[in-house]
A and B are shown apart, each in its own frame.
Chain A
Amino acid sequence: MEIPSKYDPRETESKWYEFWMKNDYFHSEPDDRESYTVVIPPPNVTGVLHMGHMLNNTIQDVLVRRARLQGKNACWVPGTDHASIATEAKVVKRLREKGIKKSDIGREEFLKHAWEWKEEYGGIILEQLKKLGASCDWERTSFTMDETYYQDVVNTFIRLYEKGLIYRGERMINWDPAALTALSDEEVIHKEVNSKLYHVRYQIKDSKEYVTIATTRPETILGDSAICIHPDDTRYTHLHGKHALVPLIGREIPIILDDYVDMEFGTGCLKVTPAHDVNDFDLGAKHNLEIINIMNPNGTLNENSVLFDGVDRFKVRKQIEKDLEESGNLVEVESYQNKIGYSERTDVVIEPRLSLQWWVKMDDIVKPALQSVKDGEINFYPSNFVNTYNHWLNNVKDWCVSRQLWWGHRIPAWFYGQGDDDFVVCVTAEEALEKAKSKSGNEALTAEDLKQDEDVIGYLVLFLVMAYVCIQWSPR
């Protein structure tokens, strides 16, 4: 055999990869040998290989190939992730280029387009992994929206719900007050606009002292639940434990301490309005603050605002500027440039709004995860990463698992009424009808009265079942 003077990887690599594939070396069936199984962290179906994939897949292949040489039954299960947001965004964009809106064609039609997109572009990344030499058992390639996956994710959701590990709770979403619908982040367009920054002073209770805060949305002060200052801010040490009064309505709110506040910014005082701002909502949850929703779905204020029941948010903004001026609470108004979110569809200003979402209760679910590491059943290499793991799991908050998207595993919840609790959780519409009848006591309910949740299930649930689906073990 002629030996070339230079090694030519291009020729050699495709030749041997074909040879390995043709001879089925990557395929594994269970037998008496010790098994060595790796489940690929599935790359996004929309993805192309980047250096992060290169490193982690090289590591997996090195381990799998050595195990194979050691005579173990090595099996590396490949697959791709349906990538809810990434894929949906790409499909929405493609449709838009054809002048089609997602909302015009409806869920079913949209999903058809999504599948088409997946067939056309998905799986590039798996072909790229072959170039790297990845010795995956390609016969076992799975996709997280495959039928088995789909059913297992849905069933796991139901099981978690039945065990009380999934519940409905409030969270901030993007609300379109004209279309009366929630929007995903992708459907919000951020525009640079000229706004006003209002400096408003709040009187400290039982004192002649004031603190000043700045806001671009003065109407929201009617929903304030606290004033927040940095614990180390010496300018306000004397205010620790005191209360302030909301201007115009005189409601008492606590002064809370949190290092979330930037002392350098403005006066170092922050108003906290949990019902109308994403960050304030988190801060409110942390400090257990009251959530005061002052707005109706259509953008008018409600009776919680005390002063402006039924008046549109922008009219209130103009009026409240005058009122604050008159009451002596308006210190200054300056012009200000900021980015504001507009609805892609209706071009109205988005309101952050509390909405009922599905949550996984993390407290209970992380217990076995922590315990098995503590018991040495699961090990970390290098071991110091145990600390990161423990820190993360010990501090994890409840996890939102509903997504305002269509491309994904649809939430198996069926609503039969307007009440927060008027729903049942199960796989099929038939089952749902039976359950709904017995839960509501209303035998007259029909299939038309049932409406399935529009949202899809977030990844957390998928990850819980992934390892099992890959080895064809059903959590059912």
Chain B
Amino acid sequence: MSKTLGNSPDPIELIKKYGADGVRVGMLLCAPAGNDIPFDEGLCEQGRNFSNKIWNAFRLIKGWEVSEKEQPLEAKQAVKWFNSRIGTVLEEINDSFTKFRLSEALMSSYKLIWDDLCSSYLEAVKPAYGGKIDPRSLKETIEFFETTLKIIHPFMPFLSEEIWHRLADRPEKEDALIVAKWPEQEKGDELLQREWEVLSEILSDVKNQRNQYGISPKEALTGSVNISGRLNQDFSRLFKKLGNCTIDIISDGGDTSPRKNGVVSLDLGDKLQEEEKKNLEKELEYSKGFAKSVEKKLSDSDVLLWAHSKRRNSERKKLADALAKISQIEEKLEQMK
């Protein structure tokens, strides 16, 4: 992009299209300090999507109804974890600012909001469909949300100020977000965060296998996973809530911070076999079709085409391989019956 080349987009048009906050985020996402900038309008779009993500999170929270009840265990765990997470990320962000690494500061803030707040924390505390939230979780969630608004304000001043005033009535001049106090928080508990990472990894294994075998999220699953070290927290309610699954944690008895070993093994039983059968049948069909096409080619009497015996041989080999594969698959399918 160059002024001289005239291939630079009009900033005011970009602002109209993606919002000023979206463009600000887009500019900084592509600009690690001191390097040339490969500008991509897609990054402004990413900025706008980020605005929408925050807006939707806000709408989610505002939509919750409260009922007087105890805070459930999984919410307690999530609150403790996210609080610790803010401490850790805030330290990263402050460090980046000190070094004028604004892209990194933005990236840390972005991940804190998108991954930790939206994808993990809010999922963990949100009431079941049609249910209500306990007052304590709501209060703590709003406080967290306000903290993240302060953190994102330098990058997205408009959106953050808008939500800030929608979250609460703030009539005084000094109540505005622009002059709020930058959060201060101690560095987070590493072990706690490590445990939560193991939780996320397990849930992502489960999700992957659901996708792979076409199992609906509504279908409850059971399974187990090997862990080296120790998982202090009982995450069974979160497994249920976030993954609709029950997972046995098999620890190696070590005393270190926990690490997941291998992939979660799910009791898929018939589902697995059905899925495999389906795949084999698909493969069989393909191989048969392929063999047919090679046979047709070989029966062609066009002399020119077969002038090279080498080529003819290679086609013959292809056919032999395909036929071998077909009998293999048929054998397997026979065994499955």
* Chain A interface (Cβ < 8 Å from any Cβ of B): 1, 3, 5-7, 9-10, 12-13, 15-17, 19-20, 23, 25, 49-55, 58-59, 61-63, 65-66, 68-71, 128, 131-133, 135, 381-382, 384-385
* A20 proximity list for chain B (CB < 8 A): 161, 176, 178
- Asked if B27 and A131 sit within 8 Å, CB to CB, the answer is no
Among B11-19, B229-237, B274-282, the stretch that binds chain A is: B11-19
Interface stretch among B31-39, B128-136, B202-210, B291-299?
A: B31-39
CB pair B182 A50 closer than 8 Å: no
A interface majority secondary structure? helix
> In the complex, are the beta carbons of B59 and A5 less than 8 A apart?
yes
Whether A49 contacts B12 by the Cβ 8 Å rule is yes
Q: Do B178 and A13 have beta carbons less than 8 Å apart? A: no
B178 touches A7 (CB 8 A): no
Q: How many residues of B contact A (CB 8 A)?
A: 51
Q: Do residues B55 and A51 form an inter-chain contact, with CB atoms below 8 A?
A: no
Tell me the complex Cα distance, A294–B265, Å: 93
Knowing A3-B62, A131-B20, say if A69 contacts B52 (CB, 8 Å): no
- Whether B161 and A381, one on each chain, are in contact in the complex, defined by CB atoms closer than 8 angstroms, is no
Q: Is the CB of B155 within 8 A of A62?
A: yes
User: Which residue from chain A places its CB closest to the CB of B100 in the assembled complex?
Assistant: A381
How far does the alpha carbon of A271 sit from the alpha carbon of B15 in the complex, in Å? 54
A26 → chain B closest CB, angstroms: 9
- CB < 8 Å neighbour of A133 from B16, B58, B157, B180: B157
Q: How far is the CB of A368 from chain B (nearest CB, A)?
A: 23
- Selecting from B1-9, B215-223, B311-319, the interface stretch reads B1-9
CA distance in complex: A68, B177 (Å): 10
Known contacts A62-B154, A133-B24; is-contact A50 B8 (Cβ 8 Å): yes
For the complex, is B76 an interface residue (Cβ under 8 Å from A)? no
Q: Please give the distance in Å from B95's CB to the nearest CB on chain A.
A: 13
Tell me if A68 and B158 are in contact (CB < 8 A).
no
Q: Which residue in chain B gives the minimum CB-CB distance to A384?
A: B34
Query: Which residue numbers of B lie inside 8 Å of A, CB to CB?
Result: 1, 3, 8-9, 11-12, 14-16, 18-24, 27-28, 31, 33-34, 37, 39, 51-52, 55, 58-59, 62, 97, 99-102, 150, 153-155, 157-159, 161-162, 166, 173, 176, 178-182
- A23 contacts B176, CB within 8 Å? yes
- Smallest CB separation, B266 vs chain A (Å): 37
- The residue in chain A whose Cβ has the minimal distance to the Cβ of B15 is A131
Query: When chains A and B are docked, how far (Å) is the Cα of A190 from the Cα of B22?
Result: 45
Whether A70 contacts B182 by the Cβ 8 Å rule is yes
Cβ of B150: which chain A residues have Cβ within 8 Å of it? 69
**A-B contacts, CB under 8 A, total:** 131
> Given A6-B52, A381-B99 in contact, is the A25-B15 Cβ separation under 8 Å?
no
In the A-B complex, the 4 residue pairs with the smallest Cβ-Cβ separation, listed nearest first, are A9-B19, A381-B100, A7-B55, A69-B182
**Chain B residues within 8 Å of A62, by CB:** 24, 28, 102, 154-155
Residues of chain B lying within 8 A (CB to CB) of residue A69: 150, 153-154, 178-182
**With A6-B52, A50-B8 known to touch, is A12 a contact of B158 (CB < 8 Å)?**
yes
Establish whether residues A1 and B33, one from each chain, have CB atoms under 8 Å apart when the complex forms: no
B3, A52: Cβ atoms closer than 8 Å: yes
Subset of 20 A-B contacts with CB under 8 Å = A6-B55, A16-B162, A17-B158, A20-B161, A20-B176, A51-B9, A58-B28, A59-B102, A61-B24, A62-B154, A63-B97, A65-B154, A65-B178, A69-B178, A69-B181, A70-B182, A128-B11, A132-B20, A133-B21, A381-B33
Distance (whole angstroms) from the CB of A134 to the closest CB of chain B: 10
Which one of B22, B37, B59, B178 contacts A9 once the chains associate, using CB atoms below 8 Å?
B22
Which residue from chain A places its CB closest to the CB of B99 in the assembled complex?
Answer: A381
Determine whether the beta carbon of A13 is less than 8 Å from that of B19: yes
Is there contact, CB below 8 Å, between B11 and A51?
A: yes
> In whole angstroms, how far apart are the Cα atoms of A305 and B249 in the complex?
99
A68 touches B159 (CB 8 A): no
B51 / chain A contacts, CB cutoff of 8 Å: 7, 9
> Which residues from chain A contact B176 at a C-beta distance below 8 Å?
19-20, 23, 25
Shortest C-beta distance, B299 to chain A (Å), equals: 62
Give chain B residues whose Cβ lies under 8 Å from the Cβ of A23.
173, 176
A68, B27: Cβ atoms under 8 Å?
A: no
Please state if A12 and B162 are interface contacts (CB–CB under 8 Å). yes
- In the complex formed, the residue of B with least CB distance to A71 is B181
CB distance from B31 to the nearest CB of A (A): 6
Q: How far is the CA of A7 from the CA of B332 in the complex (A)?
A: 55
The residue in chain B whose Cβ has the minimal distance to the Cβ of A130 is B20
A65 touches B33 (CB 8 A): no
Are the C-beta atoms of B12 and A131 separated by less than 8 Å? yes
- Write out the residue numbers on chain B whose beta carbons fall within 8 Å of the beta carbon of A52: 3
Residues on B with C-beta less than 8 A from A59 are 28, 102
Q: A6-B55, A132-B20 are in contact. List 17 more A-B contacts (CB 8 A).
A: A3-B59, A9-B20, A9-B21, A12-B158, A25-B176, A49-B11, A50-B3, A51-B9, A51-B39, A58-B24, A58-B28, A59-B102, A65-B154, A69-B179, A128-B12, A132-B15, A385-B34
A52 to B2, CA, bound (A): 9
What is the minimal beta-carbon distance from A355 to any residue of chain B, in angstroms? 29
Tell me the smallest distance from the CB of A56 to a CB of chain B, in Å: 10
**Of B28, B59, B157, the contact of A65 (CB 8 Å cutoff):** B157
Cβ of B158 and Cβ of A16 under 8 Å apart?
yes
CA distance A71 to B24 in the complex (A): 23
Residue of A16, A50, A61 touching B161 (CB-CB under 8 A): A16
